[in-house]
Amino acid sequence: MAEAAPKTDAGEVAGWPKLRFSYRTDPDRIAELLPPGITPGANPHVHIQIYCVPIIGEPEFGVSTKVEADFDGIEGMYNLGMGIDQEAAIFNSQSMNGQPKFPCRIRFFRLQDEVEAKCTHQGYTFLDFRGRLGDPVEVDTTPEEQNEWWIKVSRQIGGAEKEYDFPPHVVRVRTVMGMKSSQPVDGDLILRDSPWDPIAELLPMREQLSADLVTTSFHEREITNAGPLDPTAFWPFVDTIGGSRWPGERGGPRYGRG
């Protein structure tokens, strides 16, 4: 039997739900965004997740964009960006673990059977969704291992060409999670043009595969240094838009101007 939705009281953000999307894009588009050493995964799929989790004693709203990618023979997902609404968690996450976080204004809620999400960065709304919940589906609650790849790197002080204070390394985020509940959401994910979050341009949607609202159980998380990347080959990927892994120019958009 599918697990019933959690009971809520007025003012409560209950269950810490996650709104997940998967869609198919062009394989070559994913390959272009992966630095040498990280290879495309089995499917040319993009996975977007909008969430609310407790961080630093309060709810953090966030949106992550990942593509299927492998490193050192291990299947996982390469994280291109995590937009969050908590400034305190951005910069220490970047400097300590290379987590690709940037500030983002996120509207995400469920009201009875309606689910709405909207993500805005630098004045551009790059993601928009409205949908209606379907019936809960039966889920396999067995915990599963998931792997995610971040990049930790620091360019040399003064900005010398192809020089680093800390050359690029892959950070492996190994998580063991189980599914608690899942409800499909009927609606079309809209990706809007934005120079600051160029997902619509660089990872165009060819087919929406799924949209669902889920709750999960957390079992383990381990963040480790998975190994170096070729620093010379990585150089074209070193300049990004803010703290994300989207290709940038001096920290701003390479593809158009904000």
Q: For the chain, what is the mean pLDDT?
A: 92
For position 183, which CATH number holds? Answer: 2.40.400.10
Q: What is the pTM of this model?
A: 0.92
Residue type, 44: P
**Does the residue 257 lie in any domain?**
no
Q: How confident is the model at residue 257 (pLDDT cuts 50, 70, 90)?
A: low
Name the H helices within 9-167.
27-33, 88-97
Dihedral sign, CA of 51, 53, 59, 64?
A: negative
Burial class of residue 62 (count of CB atoms within 10 Å of its CB; 0-12, 13-18, 19+): buried
The domain of 31 spans: 18-251
At 8 the pLDDT is 47
Phi, psi (rounded to 5 degrees) for 30: -65, -45
**Does the residue 68 lie in any domain?**
yes
Output DSSP code: residue 240. Answer: B
**Does the residue 163 lie in any domain?**
yes
Q: Using the predicted structure, report yes or no on whether residue 9 has a pLDDT greater than 60.
A: no
CB-CB contact of 244 with 199 (8 Å): no
At 10 the pLDDT is 43
**Does the residue 98 lie in any domain?**
yes
Phi, psi (rounded to 5 degrees) for 32: -65, -25
Could you give the number of structural domains in the chain?
1
